[in-house]
Amino acid sequence: MTTETMMHERRNRVTVGLALIGLGLVFLLGYVINTGLLVLPLMALIFALVGIRTHEAGWFIPAGILGGVGLGAILVDTLLLPESLEGGVFLLSFAAGWVSIPLLSALFADERVWWPFIPAGVMAVIGSLILVGEGGMTLLDFVFNRAGWVWPLVLITIGVVLILRKPQE
């Protein structure tokens, strides 16, 4: 085994060890004080720090998801919102978490990921329509209930195009 490989393995062991210690401390802290809404953001921070240290984009996926859900939970719990707006605020927060994945990978990782923009966009559109109110809810009802049969056809069409399309050179 080369010295470089040994150093890389040691760095990975230390990084994973520190992440496990951090997660353990977060969970242990929950027994001492009421961490409640801070658990998910703290876990997101740990995953993000591991991703920054290892330069691997995969760590930013749980960081973004946990961060978005944590932010949504905090906002819904702490803001005095009408119940009709809570879902929209939560979805926009969750979308922000998904957007953070490609941003963090572009800044700190050796690879770039773009696919998290897809779920982020879907959640942002739905969350925004919920916040709009009656008009947004009417549109959502039409898209998902009255024209719900269209979505499977769209997915099938995209799948067929991907299979039949010739690769670009």
In a domain, 54, yes or no: yes
Rounded CA-CA distance 52/59 in Å is 8
Between 47 and 6, name the one with better pLDDT.
47
CA dihedral 74→66→69→95, nearest 10 degrees, is: 120
Q: Could you tell me if residue 166 is inside a domain? A: no
| Domain span including residue 32 | 3-132
> Would 144 be classed as within a structural domain?
no
> Is residue 160 domain-resident?
no
pTM of the entire predicted model: 0.79
Evaluate whether residue 115 is within a structural domain.
yes
72 closest CA partner among 48, 94, 43, 105:
94
pLDDT value at position 169? 63
Locus of tokens 């960081």: 63
Mean pLDDT across the chain: 90
For Cα atoms 33, 49, 111, give the angle at the middle one, nearest 5 degrees.
Answer: 150
Taking only the tens place, the pLDDT of each residue in 6-30 is 777 877 788 888 888 888 887 887 7
- The answer to whether residue 150 is domain-embedded is no
**By C-alpha distance, which of 77, 85, 13, 80 is closest to 40?**
77
18, part of any domain: yes
Q: How confident is the model at residue 85, as a pLDDT?
A: 95
Domain count, the chain: 1
Report pLDDT digits (tens) over 99-138: 999 999 999 999 999 999 999 999 999 999 999 999 999 9
Residue 49 counted as domain residue: yes
